[in-house]
Structure 1
C-alpha cells in the first residue's frame, strides 16, 4: 500500500499529484487472482454513455421538445422585516430600572475599555417571541455598543442576555466613536430600505480602510458608497437636509431583489456531450442571462461522455430553454427537452443511480478472460472507491481543501491560481505570469474567459487585496457548490486511503468496531458500531466508512485510530470542517465500503470510430493520467479527453479505427458510484 509518510508529509503536499491511482490510494482488488485485460476507453464520447436513473427506477431519456403551457404562479411572499422602532415600547417599560442601570454600566465599560465586555447581563426569560424581539431592538437602540443574545436556561426557559458588541471596538479603529455607534444603531434598528451617512471628516485613505472594515465586519449585509460633495448637494434638493462638506460614506442594506410575481421551477432533461455538468450549467446560464445558482441537478456526470440527466432551473421558461438549443455556443454540446413546470427544484441525490454503456476498444484477450472478469465483479463486487474524476485535474482539490481547513486562505488562493503541469496555452501562461509577478490585474487580463473559477478569485483579489481578509473574499467569490467540492475532494481522498488500509488490515469480512447503517430518524441516517456478538449477523456489503465531517462517527477499531493519526498529522480535526468565514459546514456522510453492479453484461462488438478521434485512454498501463471528467473541471471548455496512454503517449482514434476487437459493457450503479472504478477492477489496471 502507498506509504502514508511519503504522501501525507506536509512538505510533500506542495508537490502532491492527483494524476494516477497511486496518488488517490486505490490499492485493493477484490478479485486479485483473476486475469485482467488491456483496452482503450473514451476514445470517443459515444464510447461512454451515461443515463441517469430517476428515483422511481426509470431511465431518464430525452424524447420531446414540446413546450408546456405557461406556469401558474402566485404573488411572491413579502420579505420578513423587523418591527419598526416606533412600534417598540421603551426599554424602561420592558425591564426594571435596576436592569437599565446594569446595561448602562455595561455600555460604559465597553466604551471605556475599547473591547467587548464578555460578562453578560441577564434581562430575563420570555416565552413570547414578539416580546423578545421588542427587547432586542429596545436594548440595541438605547445602547448600540451592546448586543443581545437568546439562550435557554437550565429549566428550559428562553432568556435574553446583553453583552458588549465585538463590532464596536473594531469599528472605532477606523472611524470615530460617534460614527461607530450611529452605524450600529442603523444596522440594529432601521428598516431595510433606509440609508445612513457617516458624518466624520475622513481622508481618502481613511475612507478606503472604512470600506474594507465594514465589508469585513458585516459581509453581504451592507453596501457602502462614497458620496462626493456634488452628489450630496443633488440629494439636498430632494431631501431638504444640510449635508456636511466634503465626501462622505453612505451605507445601505443590500436587499435581494424580488420579482412582483412568484418564482416557478422548470424541470427538463439535459443531454450533454464532451462537457462536465458544472461547465454545462455555466454555459447555459451565460446563454440564458441568469445565475448558475438557479440551476440544480441530482448529480454530476462524466465530462468525456454522452450523458442524460434531469435538471431544474428557477424563473427560466421552457421556451427560453428550447431557444437556447440553437445558440452557437450550445449546439453540439448540449440539448434540452421534456420540459415540465413544477413547484420544487431537484436536489442533490434525487436519483437512484446511473446506467452505463461503455465500449472498451482494442481488447485482444480471449472471451473467457473477459467473461471470468465480469463474473467475478458481478459476484464479489468491487471496492467503492472515489474515482480520479472526484479530485479534479492539475491542482488537487484536496490540497486546496487542506489549506482552507487550516485557515491558510492565502495558500488556498495560490493553489487555485498556480500553474499545473498538464495545462497548456493561455491559461498556463496566465498562471505562470501570476507566479512570477504576483500581478493580479495583469493575470486577470491574461486569464481566458472560460477559466471561470480562477477569474472569480482574481476579480475578488483585485477588489479586496491579498490580505487574509481579501483571500477570504476571493474564496467566497467561488460559487458555494464549487467551494464545497474542494472539501469533498479531501474527504474522498481520506476515504480511499481508509478503505485500502481497512481491507489490507482486516480483509473482506466485517470485524468488531466496524460501522454499519442503523435506523433512519427524521430523515437523518445513523450508524451503529458492531460489537463482537453482532459481527456474524452482517457481511462486508453492510460495512460503511465515514466521509469525514463535523458529526462523523469513527470506527471503533484500528481503522478509526488510523484516521485520527492521519488528521492529526495534517493539522486538522473533525471540528475543522466547520468554516463559518467561508460559509462551509460539512457534517459528513457514510459510504458503503463495497459496491455491486446491477444488470452487468458484456458482448463483443464491431464499432468503428465516427471520426479520427481525439486523444484516447489506454487502460493497459498505470503510467498516465486519470480518466474521466473532473468535478472541478474547467468551465466551458472540453479537453481532448482524459488519457491513460501507453508510456505517456496518446493513441489517436485513427490508429484504432483499423482494428482491435471491442467489448461493450452494460451495467447500472447506485448513485455516487464510479464506473471507472468498476473498470479498474475488471481490467486490473489504472482507471
Structure 2
C-alpha cells in the first residue's frame, strides 16, 4: 500500500472528505489483487463482449481483408530492412514514423533516372503562351538580376527585390503562371496579392545552394513544385556523412511536412540522399475515373495486460505488428501493478493478423481477445467508467486506535465513503509511481520549452540494472544516441523514436524539439497533462483546507444552460454571494479547472492560488500553447467530489480466499478484505481506497 497511497497524498497533505478513523492494510501485493475492467459507453464490461462475430462477415469480405493484409508491407520483412544495413544514420531519418522506403526495381544508383517529374515538364504550359513578349523579357531580366545579386559581393540596391506581373483575374491562369514560373525559374517564388502575381527571390534556394550545387537545387525545387505522385529525387552521391546530415536537416526543417528523406548506397557504394513525397502530401487529385479510395482497416479487441503500463503494452504490440504506437487508440491508461482489461482499436491490421500473435505476446503478460473488425478508432474518455475488484491484505487497526474493533472501523469507513464520496484527486499512476523522475516534472520542462532538460529527465534511469536502465545511464553519461539505440529492447518504442531523432539532429534545443515531435501526440500531451493533474491535486487540497465542504462565493459549477458546443468558459457558472447565502449548491457540484489557456479560474482565493502557483513554475496562460511541439492545452474542469458506485465488500479467510465470513466478527485468520465497485472515467481507485483507509503503509 505504501507505494500506492503515499504518493497521491503528498500533493495534498492528507486532506480527506470524511472524518472516520480508517484502518491499515496493503494492496497490489500481486497483480491479481487489483483487477480493473473497463465499462464501455453502453454500460457493458469489455470482457463480456461477444467473442465470435464471424457470422457477420461474408466470404468475399474475409477474402478481401486477407488480400489487403498480404499486400501490406511489414517492417520486419527482410527486403525492407534497408535502413539497418545501409543507411548512414541507422534506424533514423527525418521520418518520425521510421518507415523504410520501398526498394526500387532498379539499382539505387539509377535513382536520378527515376525522377518521373522530369519527363512531365514538357506538359506544363509555357510562359510564352501565358505572358506577352515584353512581360516575359522583363521577367527574364528580373531573374538574371536576382542571380547576379546573389553571386555578386556588392550591395543589391541597384535591383528591385520583387517584380509584379500585374492583375490576373482568371484563377486557372494564375495557377498556370505560378507553375510555369517556378518550373522555369526555380530560384524564384510567386505569391498572389489581390489577384496580382508578384515574383520574388526564393531564399530557400539560396540556402540550399550553400549545401548542394545549383543544378541540384534547381532540380529539387522543380521536383517539389511538380508534386508528381510516386516520384523521387536523388541528390548526387556524397561520401561526407556530416554533410549528408545537414542536407537531411535542411530539407526536414523547410519542407518536412511535404517530403521525407532517406540515405541509400548506390551501385558504387557511394551514399545518395533520396527525397520522396509523404503519403499524405497534397498530391494533385486524379480524375474520378482513376481515383481509388482506400478504406482504412480497423480492428477492435480487448487488451488484457498484467503488471505492465498501457503505453508499454502498446509498444510491444506495435513492435510485433510492425505498426506505429499512434496506430493504436484507447479510452484511457490503466494501472500498471494490476490485471487490467480495456477496449482498444488498431488500424492497418486485420483481425486475422492480430489473432496470429498468440503466444509471442502472452509470454510478456499481454493477451488479446474479442478480436473483431471495427469502423473507426476510439477516443480518450469514450467509456462509462472502470470496474474494480480489489483485495486488501494484512488488515489491522491504526496503532493509536483502541476505541473500536477492526471490523467496526472497516464497516464505518466503507459506509462513510459510500454516502459522502471522496476527493477526486489524480492517483499515483498519473505521475509514474515509484520513479526517480515523475512524469509531471517532464511536463513542466516541456511547458517551459526546456526541451534538452525534458529529454534528460525522460532518460533518467531507475535504481536497477536491467537493460533499459543501463541504456538510460549510458545515454546520460555519453549522449551517444546511436549507441543507446542498440542497447534498448524493441518494445521501448518511445525511447527509440526519440533517440533516432536525436541521432539525426543532435542533442540541442532544435534537435530535442525534433525528438519530441517524433513521439506520437498522445504520448507528448501525456506528460503535460501529468503536470496539470499535479496542479489540480494541489488546488483541490487548498480548496478543501480553505473553505471545507461549504460552497462559497466565487466557486465554479457547470452552467445549467450550457451545450456541447459552448466554449469552455461558457460551460461554467460563478457562484454569487446570494447563492452562497441561500445554500443553493452542494460541494458535489463544485468543479476546479485543469490549467490551460481557455478556462476560467474561481473568483475567490482559490483563483488567486492558481495564478501564484503557476507563476512559481514560470507559467502563464500563454505558456499552454506550444506551437513548436504542436501542443495546445485548452484545459478542462473536474468535479472536486466523486462517489463509488455499487460498492460491495466481504471478509475472507486466509485459506486461499475461499470462505466468506460475512457479518461474523473478524478472527485472527481473517486478514483479507474483498471490495468491488465502479468509478466514473478518470477517477482513481487508489484515491478512493486512500479515503476509506486513511493509511500510508
**1:187: Cα distance to partner?**
2.2
Deviations for 1:75-119, whole angstroms, at most 9, x for unmatched residues? 99xxxxx9x985779699699x999989998998897699xx999
**1:142: Cα distance to partner?**
6.8
In structure 1, how many angstroms separate the alpha carbons of the residues matched to 2:605 and 2:138? 58
SS at structure 2 position matched to 1:361: strand
**1:499: Cα distance to partner?**
1.5
Q: Are residue 367 (structure 1) and residue 407 (structure 2) matched? A: yes
* Equivalent residue number for residue 385 of structure 2: 353
**1:282: Cα distance to partner?**
2.3
The partner residue of 1:408 within 450, 463, 468 is: 450
**1:414: Cα distance to partner?**
1.2
* Equivalent residue number for residue 108 of structure 2: none
* 38 and 481 in structure 1: CA distance in 2 versus 1, 3 angstrom threshold: same
My pick for the range that moved more, 308-317 or 677-686, is: 308-317
Please say which structure displays the higher CA radius of gyration: 2
SS at structure 1 position matched to 2:233: strand
Q: Are residue 377 (structure 1) and residue 410 (structure 2) matched? A: no
Deviations for 1:199-252, whole angstroms, at most 9, x for unmatched residues? 7999665444222222232235323356778569xxxxxxxxxxxxx9865432
My pick for the range that moved more, 474-483 or 251-260, is: 251-260
* Equivalent residue number for residue 548 of structure 1: 595
Deviations for 1:290-331, whole angstroms, at most 9, x for unmatched residues? 333332221221122222222222233333333333x14315
* Equivalent residue number for residue 675 of structure 1: 685
* Equivalent residue number for residue 21 of structure 2: 35
Question: Unpaired runs of 5+ in structure 2?
Answer: 69-116, 282-290, 398-405, 659-667
Write the mapping of 1:45-84 to structure 2, written as runs, cut at 5 A. Answer: 45-62=31-48, 65-66=51-52, 68=54, 69=57, 71=61
* Equivalent residue number for residue 661 of structure 1: 671
Count of residue pairs brought into register by the alignment: 595
* 204 and 479 in structure 1: CA distance in 2 versus 1, 3 angstrom threshold: closer
* Equivalent residue number for residue 338 of structure 2: 305
CA contact (8 A) 2:557 2:575 kept: no
**1:159: Cα distance to partner?**
11
Deviations for 1:139-195, whole angstroms, at most 9, x for unmatched residues? 7557756767899x9xxxx99998876645654553456655553443234323233
Length-normalised TM-score, structure 2: 0.73
* 171 and 358 in structure 1: CA distance in 2 versus 1, 3 angstrom threshold: same
* 504 and 260 in structure 1: CA distance in 2 versus 1, 3 angstrom threshold: same
Q: Are residue 685 (structure 1) and residue 685 (structure 2) matched? A: no
In structure 2, how many angstroms separate the alpha carbons of the residues matched to 1:161 and 1:23? 62
Q: Are residue 221 (structure 1) and residue 258 (structure 2) matched? A: yes
The partner residue of 1:391 within 431, 446, 462 is: 431
Q: Are residue 528 (structure 1) and residue 598 (structure 2) matched? A: no
In structure 1, how many angstroms separate the alpha carbons of the residues matched to 2:353 and 2:248? 40
In structure 1, how many angstroms separate the alpha carbons of the residues matched to 2:162 and 2:528? 37
Write the mapping of 1:462-541 to structure 2, written as runs, cut at 5 A. Answer: 462-518=503-559, 519-522=562-565, 526-532=570-576, 533-535=578-580, 536-541=583-588
* Equivalent residue number for residue 251 of structure 1: 275
In structure 2, how many angstroms separate the alpha carbons of the residues matched to 1:118 and 1:395? 53
In structure 1, how many angstroms separate the alpha carbons of the residues matched to 2:232 and 2:201? 25
* Equivalent residue number for residue 635 of structure 2: 588
CA contact (8 A) 1:430 1:446 kept: yes
My pick for the range that moved more, 22-31 or 586-595, is: 22-31
CA contact (8 A) 1:50 1:355 kept: yes
My pick for the range that moved more, 472-481 or 66-75, is: 66-75
Question: Unpaired runs of 5+ in structure 1?
Answer: 1-17, 77-81, 233-245, 612-657
In structure 1, how many angstroms separate the alpha carbons of the residues matched to 2:553 and 2:439? 33
In structure 2, how many angstroms separate the alpha carbons of the residues matched to 1:289 and 1:105? 52
* 63 and 363 in structure 1: CA distance in 2 versus 1, 3 angstrom threshold: same
* 597 and 539 in structure 1: CA distance in 2 versus 1, 3 angstrom threshold: same
* 347 and 35 in structure 1: CA distance in 2 versus 1, 3 angstrom threshold: same
In structure 2, how many angstroms separate the alpha carbons of the residues matched to 1:35 and 1:284? 45
SS at structure 1 position matched to 2:461: coil
In structure 2, how many angstroms separate the alpha carbons of the residues matched to 1:605 and 1:503? 36
* Equivalent residue number for residue 562 of structure 1: 609
In structure 1, how many angstroms separate the alpha carbons of the residues matched to 2:140 and 2:39? 61
**1:37: Cα distance to partner?**
0.6
* 255 and 502 in structure 1: CA distance in 2 versus 1, 3 angstrom threshold: same
CA contact (8 A) 1:123 1:162 kept: no
SS at structure 1 position matched to 2:29: coil
In structure 2, how many angstroms separate the alpha carbons of the residues matched to 1:34 and 1:197? 73
CA contact (8 A) 1:383 1:593 kept: yes
* Equivalent residue number for residue 187 of structure 1: 224
In structure 2, how many angstroms separate the alpha carbons of the residues matched to 1:121 and 1:572? 46
* 159 and 547 in structure 1: CA distance in 2 versus 1, 3 angstrom threshold: farther
* 146 and 397 in structure 1: CA distance in 2 versus 1, 3 angstrom threshold: farther
SS at structure 1 position matched to 2:256: helix
In structure 2, how many angstroms separate the alpha carbons of the residues matched to 1:149 and 1:448? 49
| RMSD (Å), alpha carbons | 4.5
* Equivalent residue number for residue 622 of structure 1: none
CA contact (8 A) 2:127 2:136 kept: no
In structure 2, how many angstroms separate the alpha carbons of the residues matched to 1:91 and 1:564? 64
* 227 and 367 in structure 1: CA distance in 2 versus 1, 3 angstrom threshold: closer
Deviations for 1:44-101, whole angstroms, at most 9, x for unmatched residues? 222212121111222222466436136477999xxxxx9x985779699699x99998
SS at structure 1 position matched to 2:301: strand
* Equivalent residue number for residue 371 of structure 2: 339
Q: Are residue 572 (structure 1) and residue 572 (structure 2) matched? A: no
CA contact (8 A) 1:149 1:160 kept: yes
* 197 and 323 in structure 1: CA distance in 2 versus 1, 3 angstrom threshold: closer
* Equivalent residue number for residue 81 of structure 2: none
* 459 and 594 in structure 1: CA distance in 2 versus 1, 3 angstrom threshold: same
* 419 and 539 in structure 1: CA distance in 2 versus 1, 3 angstrom threshold: same
In structure 1, how many angstroms separate the alpha carbons of the residues matched to 2:198 and 2:52? 59
* Equivalent residue number for residue 655 of structure 1: none
* Equivalent residue number for residue 8 of structure 1: none
